[in-house]
Structure 1
Amino acid sequence: EGCIRGAVLGAAGCADEKVVAGVQDVVVCGGRHRVDVEAGDDDGGSGIAVVSLASSDNDKVNTGGAELPRILGYKARSGTGGLHRRDCKLKQNERTQRIAELTKYHGAFTASERQVLDKPVEELVQDVQKEIVQPIDILRAYGKAALKAQEKTNCLTEIMIGACEGWLADGSINFKGPLAGIPVSLKDSNGVAGFDSTLGYSSKVGNKKSVDGPLVRLLKDAGAVPYVKTNLPITLLSFESANDVWGRTTNPHNSKYSAGGSTGGEGALLAFGGGRIGIGSDVAGSVRAPAHFSGIYSLRCSIGRWPKAGAETSMPGQEGVPSIFSPMTRTMGDLTYFTEAMIGMKPWKYDHSVHPIPWRSDIFDGIKKQKVLKVGILRSDGVIDPSPACVRALDKAADALRAQGHEVVELSGMPDMYEALELASKLLNSDGCQTFESWRRPGEWVDPGAAQMSYYAYLPRPIKWIYNFYVRYVRRDPVWAGILEGWGPKSAYEQWKLVARREAYKARWHEWWEKEAKVDFILTPPNATPAVPHDAMADACSSCGYTFLWNLIDYTAGIVPITHVDRTLDALPASFSLRKLNGVARGAYMHYDADAMHGLPVAVQVVGKRLEEEKVLAAMERVEEALGDDKYQLLAID
């Protein structure tokens, strides 16, 4: 697409001149092609061209071995990207105006608001149902906190607080439900009537939803109050949440670092104290990386346990590694209560894709009461060994469990975890990145990691072959070469083969767990390193093996924050050599600096088998209980 746009703009003479309408001959990737150009002006005065290929081949353009999709209605702007800038400014101004209009939500917290902020969700629900506290008072407290979090971290997108006051007054919210009066934050992709779900793409600005999505209807029926939506990365394929529409979200512990992605806005908001419960989505770690980076709790549910219908996505139709919406919270107790409340609402009555599995108290209580649990320690994903900070957090949790009398064993013999990263990466991007690129306007910034994936997908095959040969045999890096090999759009035949591999891989994990490991749950790092600095995804875009594995095989996994980076305890040893690492590991460790990271959160990941949400939540509680007074300390609410 970029080559076609560049060729058309080049034919116009220079980037600042208007594109001439009509059929033109342009050179694209070494070949000459006919394109139809319809010129026009946006309100900023720059030229616009709607470009389509004037070719008898309606499917693709041959570009020397690569295949570019036929471009229909692709808007190529001459240099300035006027519509893109206009729509970004429109949304930012709209957000600023909405915040300014909330005059009652500015200023210091009152004593009663402090009391609200200090109470767990379950207690607040009881207060609402007993009419001890009014829902509007809870909204005021958390509305104030959310605006403070926005000022500090830029975590919010759609500000819905003004609309919430109307919902509380007109009966839209059920105050008898299990979440009565509780503000809930939503990842921007969730559909709420009257508000956009841009996903950070300017092309999606102005497409306000006419009705609430099934998940939002369920929340309101449960008594929850959806009060803000939160930031995410353009493409939704990054551990950094940034885009041109809303800007970049920063980590509340250190503004130079990412709050995570793709649900990074939620991570920042909850860690700061701007909310207690929220909902994100996870396709490769998107509710777990933000929890690890920002210091909160999250649960990646198995597919079919949590509703997801009615939400926007950057890759509709992608089912090679399905995405799942899941809960994120400020505390462990709130995570369990929130999950039980949502499942208790029978979400299968709202969304056809949800399994009709009620909350299973017997499973949860069984793990909570079991005297001796067998816990498996999984130390590495086989691609990137964990950093000293993540090793220390894992050891701290394991030692605490041992001290409680639990059986803690080192795991081995599991299926090759590198295969999971290689296979999941190709399944997730089997369209050659066409879909997430299709929403992007010319001149629109894209996450550097996603940009690399898209760029490499359409390199001519001979260039790919030469580069892969160099990586594998000259650099002697079979790990990176294996991921790159075959990277690009897949035919139906190729996709089916990948799916067959996925199912066989799942079967091997199931057999290993049942016949060899025989553990109650697994304890493993959520990532090789703590939070990454801004723009580090240019190097660390494949550093997701610790989370991506569980998406591929659809196992339930939760995050428990354990400690903070210590510049002395977590420094790399003198013997460490970046040059000796494979390409994926090198990209992650390029940005590991214990001194600069001092104070950032570090978590562990608790993993159960498929559809074991109750079991994993109970195991997470046992981990935190084992830590006792040495458990993770949350950020204080300013």
Structure 2
Amino acid sequence: MLPPFDYFTYRRIRNQKQKERTLRFSSLPFEYTLHITKKDRNIIDQPIEELVHDVQDSAVSPLDVLRTYGKVAKRAQERTNCITELLLPEAETWLGSEINLKGPLAGIPVSLKDSIHVKGFDATVGYASKANQPLLDDGPMVKLLKDAGAVPYAKTALPITLLSFESANGLWGTCRNPHVPSYSPGGSTGGEAALLAQGGRIGIGSDVAGSVRVPAAWSGIYSLRCSTGRWPKAGVSTSMPGQEGIPSVFSPMARTLDDLTYFTRAIIGMQPWKYDHSVHPIAWRSELETVPQDKALRIGLMSSDGVVPPTPAIERALQTTVTALLEAGHTVEEITPPPTANPFTGLNLASQLLNADGCHHFNAPLKSFEPSDPGAIQLSRIAHLSRPLRYLYYLYVRYIRRDTVTADLLRNFGPKSSAQLWTLTAAREAFRAAWHNWWDSDSQQFDFILCPVNATPALPHTAMRDAVSSCGYTFLWNLLDYSAGVIPVGHVNPIRDALSSPYKTALKRLGADNGIARGAWKHYDSAKMAGLPTAVQIVGRRWQEEQVLGYMAVVEKALESYVDPQTGTNCRYPLLEID
């Protein structure tokens, strides 16, 4: 249908899909409407490794486990609008016919980002044009999960375009942060994070610039960004088909670190390269997972990405972690990244690679006036400027507004020819080589790098129109293809984390008075953000998922032993109460 008349098609599809979702929830068997019982709480709190054994020993029924998590999903949806497609009725059928209850994930319910292919359901990625096209078969990832004994039970919210730390789209609506509803749960795997924070168990999301790590940090859970080729990615829909400059990776998320580790180990143990040709045949290396208790680690600290300094709440979380590690006997040293491959150079390079099509692909499926993401709209406006106009805008930002950081990002942002893309790809490989040689040098033999996940805690809805480019703390590691995990640390305190001066003054004092930093800091308000989670990021090298999980355990242990001298208590952020 020709625009603008397809706007009415969008509205019809939106209303239809939301009505179908409401009907699926309201028509659930009565078991899903009951209160959370003591038995349910035991299932929710039990480590999944133990729960698997209980299912296989017939000490607990896999149907009871599924119904427990169905109750959790129903309550989570009411609070946060985190679910797109509810799979529960079908999941009960799969338990009796398709799920291998002898596998390493026997009976464990797993939620999935909306983009993952499940037979009988759409994979809309939030676009109305992709609705009403149910998949005829499970994708390789879902086939692997069922063979492992896992039970897919819900698909979760994401942002249209998949390029946002928000999780909203016109088809399904806005997903809310489970701690403070007026804030985002993160993106693009925000629905997963919101569900897991409210009692969900295990989830799978995708990450191209921080999309499993920022939601984990903003919602108070754990995640692991795997290197390319370590986790299956076939059988999914995407907003940017063919984009390989910064490959998207699918990766695990969980409510606890023990569950994250067990789940990752179980999936790799299923030999995913037999399901997906893009997976490298790298078996799980258990010997790399455990860090000797008496080993003093040498930890590199990247306290700032040089573009957007951490806000007070994030700075406190980072310093708390550093102090805890020092008290545990480890060494922490500030790093100096390679001068030719610093984080800002990486942000500029990664931004051009990711959007080398001039933002064409993620806009193409949109129907007329279908809502898009505020940040993606900003990127598209710049990309669609003619080269002369973009250059004039660059000159204005650089010499009139005197913002060299934003100007440098603007100058070459736009559609690239094949020759230009090849040049950028060569620059990416040179950038990776510089970091490889830097980390290999005698003076930089760090076990891992500790850094923020994002400069801010969760941001309010629609803030991406200002903060879309504030992604350097995660995007850098995508460019390098390093493994990276997220651990929650504490929560925003309205008094301790308050700004001592207006944000523009604070940024000038920090030497970071640029448009990217201002776009993120303008939304920082410790009083409104009170109670939001804070987190840190643990970064290893490529294909070091085992080591990163082991180092996350070291950081977790140090934080659990640390006592805040100001309060006399432990700083760890408690899991949300499940009622």
Give the TM-score band, short-chain normalised.
over 0.9
Deviates more, 1:99-108 or 1:290-299: 99-108
Aligned counterpart, 1:320: 245
Structure with more relative contact order (C-alpha pairs < 8 Å, separation 6 or more): 2
Provide the residue aligned with 2:317 in structure 1: 393
SS in 2 for 1:178: coil
Out of 577, 601, 608, the residue aligned to residue 533 of structure 2 is 601
Alignment of 1:134-533 (within 5 A): 134-170=61-97, 172-273=98-199, 275-365=200-290, 367-369=291-293, 371-414=295-338, 415-515=341-441, 516-533=443-460
Cα gap change, 1:183 to 1:602, in 2 (>3 Å): same
Deviation at 1:576, TM superposition (A): 4.7
Distance 1:438 1:611 in 2: 34
What's the offset of the Cα at 1:575? Answer: 6.8
Distance 2:430 2:275 in 1: 32
CA distance in 1, matches of 2:156, 2:131: 15
- In the other structure, the counterpart of 1:628 is 560
What displacement does 1:82 show? 1.1
Cα distance in 2 for residues equivalent to 1:256 and 1:77: 32
Q: Shift in Å at residue 368 of structure 1?
A: 4.3
Q: Which amino acid aligns with 1:571?
A: A
Greater mean deviation of Cα atoms: 440-449 or 368-377: 368-377
Q: Do residues 119 (structure 1) and 119 (structure 2) align? A: no
SS for the counterpart of 2:72 is helix
Unaligned residue ranges in structure 1 (runs of 5+): 1-47, 50-75
TM-score by length of 2: 0.95
More deviation in 105-114 or 193-202? 105-114
- Compute the TM-score of the two structures, normalised by the length of structure 1: 0.87
Aligned partners of 2:163, 2:38: CA distance in 1, in Å? Answer: 41
State the secondary structure of the residue aligned to 2:289. helix
Aligned positions, number: 561
CA contact (8 A) 1:320 1:428 kept: yes
Q: Deviations over 1:120-168 (max 9, x none)?
A: 1111101001100010000010000011000000000010000011111
Which digits, 9 at most, give the CA deviation of each residue in 1:240-283, with x for residues without a partner? Answer: 0000111000000000100000000001000111x110000000
- Matches of 1:318 and 1:216 in 2, distance apart? 23
Matched residues in 1 for 2:440 and 2:204: separation?
A: 32
CA–CA distance in structure 2, aligned partners of residues 576 and 330 of structure 1: 33
Q: 1:467, CA displacement in angstroms?
A: 0.9
SS class of match (1:257): coil
Cα distance in 2 for residues equivalent to 1:242 and 1:528: 21
2:567 maps to what in 1? Answer: none
On the 8 A contact 2:305/2:472 being kept in 1, the answer is: yes
Q: Deviations over 1:389-432 (max 9, x none)?
A: 11111111111111111111121243311001000000000000
Asked if 2 retains the 8 angstrom alpha-carbon contact of 1:384 and 1:528, the reply is: yes
Please give the per-residue CA displacement for 1:155-203, whole angstroms capped at 9, x wherever unaligned.
0001000001111122x00001000000000000000000000000000
CA contact (8 A) 1:241 1:265 kept: yes
Q: Which runs of 4+ in 1 moved over 4 A?
A: none
1:573 aligned partner: 500
Q: Structure 2 CA distance, aligned partners of 1:606 and 1:480?
A: 28
2:486 to 559, 568, 581: 559
Distance 2:386 2:445 in 1: 47
Report the residue type matching 2:435 in the other structure. Answer: W
Question: Separation in 1 of the partners of 2:364 and 2:16?
Answer: 22
Kindly provide the CA deviation profile for residues 67-121 of structure 1, in whole angstroms up to 9, marking residues without a partner as x. xxxxxxxxx124x811100111111011011101113211311222121112111
Residue 369 of structure 1, CA deviation: 3.8
Q: CA deviation at 1:632?
A: 2.9
Q: How far apart, CA to CA, are the structure 2 residues paired with 1:455 and 1:92?
A: 30
1:502-523 CA-to-partner distances (Å, cap 9, x unmatched) read 0000011111111132100011
Q: Does 1:582 align with 2:523?
A: no
Q: Distance in 1 between matches of 2:450 and 2:86?
A: 37
Aligned-pair RMSD on alpha carbons?
A: 1.1
Q: Which residue of 2 aligns with 1:62?
A: none
Query: In structure 2, what is the Cα distance between the partners aligned to 1:464 and 1:315?
Result: 23
Alpha-carbon distance in 1 for matches of 2:166, 2:387: 30
User: Quick check: 2:86–2:155 contact (8 Å CA) kept in 1?
Assistant: yes
2:118–2:137: 8 Å Cα contact kept in structure 1?
Answer: yes
2:566 maps to none
